[in-house]
Amino acid sequence: MIPVSEQPRPRILVVEDDPDASEMMRQMLDLSGFECSTVDTGEKALEAVKGNCPDAIILDLMLPGIDGFAVCERLKMQRETNLVPVLMLTALDRREDMLKGVRVGANHYMTKPFKGEELVERLRELLRWKGEMADKGVQGTVTFDVESDLRYLDDVNKLLTSLFEHTRIPDRDVHRIKYAVLEMGHNAIEWGNRNRRECRIRLSYLIDGEKLTFVVEDQGEGFDPNNVPHAAKPDDPLAHLSLREKLGIRTGGFGILLSKAFMDEVRYNERGNTVTLVKYLSRLGASEEAPPAPAGVG
């Protein structure tokens, strides 16, 4: 067993444009057993991780040039840096920035000012999380935080497309999986959050050696997916259309039905505000009979 004093110090990259704050964190982390390096722009951060990934990143939101959200998105959308934990620092009066559009989520957020011991503890928790992901064989995981506005699902579609570019999943399966995930996102906005802009949906993606797992969670009161009068039914998939027309809601209604056809597992939690979709990698490209994914998902 390697003595504690001889174990490698976790390498932390601090991305902070305030020189005083950056130096304070560097000294504090050094005294806490970390090896710390600092940069002052998002561009320098992206350059610093090339070929030399740190064990974790402390990332300030407000940076000159590209901001922390853009840096986080690039880190999380690249295979080499996807599992590097990102702790994002936000100013108290800038928290509203976290409530707009689509955000590729950091692993943890802290509001300035913060206590040094709290920062160190969060870092250690994130490093433990990273170790757990490695032990479980996780190859990638991303969380999207989405405003309850249907127009932002197009941004989610583009981000999902970027994720799948790093896999060998057949195009047909990619199209079906994206349709199922986006349809559940649509349902979460329309029926879970009732189109309330102040509510969010969280969409999480995880791939390991066996399967793809997506979790879509809304902030609504929940519902019973087996008792939705406007949804399509397997035995009569067109009967819902007249009711939808009376209710003034979008046509289609095949969302849950098609998602179950495209995915291997579709599970709701007891409350009905979280749905988990699973696709086993061993079943990709199978020739089972299933309807084609509707057009509109690129």
Higher pLDDT, 244 or 228: 228
Instruction: List, in order, residues 6 or more apart from 250 with CB less than 8 Å away.
Output: 190, 244
Does 99 have pLDDT greater than 70? Answer: no
Domain assignment present for 203 = yes
For residue 266, the surrounding DSSP H or E stretch is: strand 265-268
For residue 71, the surrounding DSSP H or E stretch is: helix 68-76
Is residue 182 a contact partner of residue 297, using CB atoms and an 8 Å limit? Answer: yes
95, 148: one domain:
no
Is residue 90 a contact partner of residue 161, using CB atoms and an 8 Å limit? Answer: no
Domain assignment present for 214 = yes
Q: What is residue 262's predicted lDDT score, i.e. its pLDDT? A: 92
Task: List helix spans (H) across 77-168.
Answer: 116-135, 153-164
Edge-to-edge strands of the sheet including 56-60?
35-39, 11-15, 56-60, 86-91, 108-112
Higher pLDDT, 5 or 18: 18
As a whole number of angstroms, the distance between CA 243 and CA 249 comes to: 9
Query: What's the angle, vertex CA 172, arms to CA 212 and CA 233, rounded to 5?
Result: 80
Domain assignment present for 298 = no
Percent of the chain residues topping a pLDDT of 70? 80
The parent domain of residue 19 ranges over: 4-99+106-135
116, 241: one domain:
no
pLDDT in tens, 269-293: 999 899 999 999 998 876 455 555 5
For residue 35, the surrounding DSSP H or E stretch is: strand 35-39
pLDDT in tens, 142-176: 999 999 988 899 999 999 998 888 778 899 999 99
Provide the greatest CA pair distance for the chain.
Answer: 71
Both tokens of 81, joined, read 């840096």
Does 80 have pLDDT greater than 70? Answer: yes
As a whole number of angstroms, the distance between CA 53 and CA 48 comes to: 8
279, 145: one domain:
yes
Domain assignment present for 290 = no
Q: What is residue 258's predicted lDDT score, i.e. its pLDDT? A: 79
119, 194: one domain:
no
Q: What is residue 297's predicted lDDT score, i.e. its pLDDT? A: 55
pTM higher than 0.85? no
Strands 211-218 and 200-207: antiparallel
Does 30 have pLDDT greater than 80? Answer: yes
- The domain boundary residue, chosen from 114, 135, 156: 135
CATH code, domain with 94 = 3.40.50.2300
